[in-house]
Amino acid sequence: MNDSVSNPVLSVDTVVKRFGKTVAVNGISLDIRENEFFALLGPSGCGKTTLLRMIAGFEVPDGGSIRLGDRDITHDAPEKRPLNLMFQSYALFPHMTVWQNLAYGLEMESLPRGEIATRVDDMLKTTDLSALASRKPTELSGGQKQRVALARALIKRPKVLLLDEPLGALDKKLREKMQLELKRLQHEVGITFIIVTHDQEEALVMADRVAVLKDGSILQCGTPQEVYERPANRFVAGFIGAMNFIDGEIGPDALFRAGGEALACDLDGLQRNARAVLAIRPENITLKPAGSGIAGTVVDVAYHGLDRQLYVKTALSPAPLQVRVAATGPGVAAAQTGATVSLAFDAAACRLFQE
Ligand SMILES: Nc1ncnc2c1ncn2[C@@H]1O[C@H](COP(=O)(O)OP(=O)(O)OP(=O)(O)O)[C@@H](O)[C@H]1O
Ligand SMILES: [Mg+2]
């Protein structure tokens, strides 16, 4: 699937990479825009790192090509590409201070001393690290090390910065803070970011566009809103966010039938008289006064602070449906295990898949 954009800064064209019998990347095409924050998202082993390593030049594709602007870089050595790859293990030089870690890459380019000093000081300011300039990596927290690694990658002013699970080593709270910081930094320095993550929430929070990968192929590419609200297939629907799946069939009357209920949904060109699966998110199911919707029994309640997740057993599916209710809304009274409830589906938010 190629999501064409005009004047891409980076173009990946039907790239293939095999390791023995394993097809790690199976003909991926992708166009990345200038200044875009792009996320590659997918389960472990789907080929994310391999794709990034080919873009950076650490692996040579078995087929296809990679272009940076007008230039074919498929076979260029990594150091010949105006790209920078930030690995998950930060690989900071342990014997050097933060300042020296940042200066190192510029010294390798034999820049004048004065310019190096100015650029290091500026980058330390941008990344909020000035106060730590003379510390060694062992004297830093995980989040600080992460920022130094990022600063060191950014200071070289790459056209594109490739980040492989940059926040993987951080705890949840720091991770969330760094997600916003990364986004701010990217905006500030105006560099194209391609980030690899297997955390869907992270991709949705940070990226302008997301590509969802599985088994070396892109299943869907779009804005976070597009992939969340209009998932292209069952895998994407289940991979991104919480989702209820209901097996059933589309009748001759175009209604979706399961467990003795008939629901009106947008068929979106799907076949009638055939099996289908309906996908609906917990926030798109609402509680109704008893007797007016699909009957169910609350079998479990999970407290989430601002809202609660109800698990409601219905005739529609063997698994209870997840239903989100606001902690202050009308659903609170029903948010008790054992309560009898009535459910209504937001028809516009239902997605049907046949595959
Ligand atoms: N050097 C290698 N030799 C052999 N097989 C490899 C090599 N590198 C990757 N693979 C295989 O290619 C596939 C894709 O691996 P890759 O590292 O790209 O996955 P990933 O999406 O980055 O996964 P993770 O989220 O676990 O990092 C996997 O099946 C992996 O075992
Ligand atoms: Mg990886």
Which comes out higher in pLDDT, residue 146 or 51?
Answer: 51
**Protein residue with its CA nearest to atom 14 in ligand 1:** 47
What is the rounded average pLDDT of the residues 176-188?
A: 86
Contact between 129 and 138 under an 8 Å Cβ cutoff? The reply is: no
Does residue 1 surpass a pLDDT of 60? no
Helices (H), 230-347: 234-239
Q: Looking at residue 162, what is its pLDDT?
A: 94
- Three-state SS sequence of 196-239: EECCHHHHHHHCCEEEEEECCEEEEEECHHHHHHCCCCHHHHHH
Q: State how far the Cα of 126 lies from the Cα of 35, in Å rounded to an integer.
A: 18
Domains in the chain, ordered, with CATH? Answer: 10-234 (3.40.50.300), 242-353 (2.40.50.140)
Nearest ligand to the CA atom of 44: 1
Q: State how far the Cα of 127 lies from the Cα of 121, in Å rounded to an integer.
A: 10
Contact between 312 and 299 under an 8 Å Cβ cutoff? The reply is: yes
Does residue 289 surpass a pLDDT of 70? yes
- This prediction has a pTM of 0.88
Q: What are phi and psi of 21, to 5 degrees?
A: -85, -15
Q: State how far the Cα of 279 lies from the Cα of 231, in Å rounded to an integer.
A: 10
Q: Looking at residue 59, what is its pLDDT?
A: 95
Q: How confident is the model at residue 330 (pLDDT cuts 50, 70, 90)?
A: low
| pLDDT tens digits, 241-277 | 899 999 999 999 999 999 999 998 888 888 999 999 9
Beta strands in 70-228 (DSSP E): 71-72, 83-86, 160-164, 192-197, 209-214, 217-222
Q: State how far the Cα of 176 lies from the Cα of 248, in Å rounded to an integer.
A: 38
Atom of ligand 1 nearest to the CA of 53: 18
Ion ligand 2 contact residues with beta carbon within 5 A: 49
Q: How confident is the model at residue 157 (pLDDT cuts 50, 70, 90)?
A: confident
Q: What's the longest Cα–Cα distance across the chain?
A: 78
| pLDDT tens digits, 187-203 | 888 899 999 998 898 99
Q: Looking at residue 2, what is its pLDDT?
A: 47
DSSP state of 180: H
Block residue for tokens 């095409």? 29
State the distance from the centre of ligand 2 to the C-alpha of 25, rounded, in angstroms. Answer: 12
Does residue 231 surpass a pLDDT of 50? yes
Does residue 331 surpass a pLDDT of 70? no
Does residue 80 surpass a pLDDT of 50? yes
Does residue 228 surpass a pLDDT of 90? yes
Q: What are phi and psi of 277, to 5 degrees?
A: -120, 135
Does residue 90 surpass a pLDDT of 60? yes
**Protein residue with its CA nearest to atom 12 in ligand 1:** 24
**Protein residue with its CA nearest to atom 30 in ligand 1:** 45
Q: Closest Cα partner for 29 from 69, 57, 65, 68? A: 65
Contact between 198 and 42 under an 8 Å Cβ cutoff? The reply is: yes
Residues 6+ apart with CB under 8 A from 160: 9, 10, 32, 55, 68, 82, 83, 84, 191, 192, 193, 194
Q: State how far the Cα of 189 lies from the Cα of 155, in Å rounded to an integer.
A: 10
State the distance from the centre of ligand 1 to the C-alpha of 43, rounded, in angstroms. Answer: 11
Contact between 32 and 8 under an 8 Å Cβ cutoff? The reply is: yes
Q: State how far the Cα of 145 lies from the Cα of 142, in Å rounded to an integer.
A: 5
Q: Looking at residue 88, what is its pLDDT?
A: 56
**Protein residue with its CA nearest to atom 6 in ligand 1:** 19
Contact between 144 and 101 under an 8 Å Cβ cutoff? The reply is: no
Pocket around ligand 1: residues whose beta carbon is below 6 Å from it?
A: 19, 22, 24, 42, 44-50, 198
| pLDDT tens digits, 295-327 | 999 999 998 888 889 999 999 999 999 999 887
Q: How confident is the model at residue 52 (pLDDT cuts 50, 70, 90)?
A: very high
DSSP strand pairing (10-19 vs 63-68): antiparallel
Q: Looking at residue 53, what is its pLDDT?
A: 94
> Is residue 128 left, alpha or beta, with left meaning phi > 0 and alpha meaning psi from -120 to 50?
left
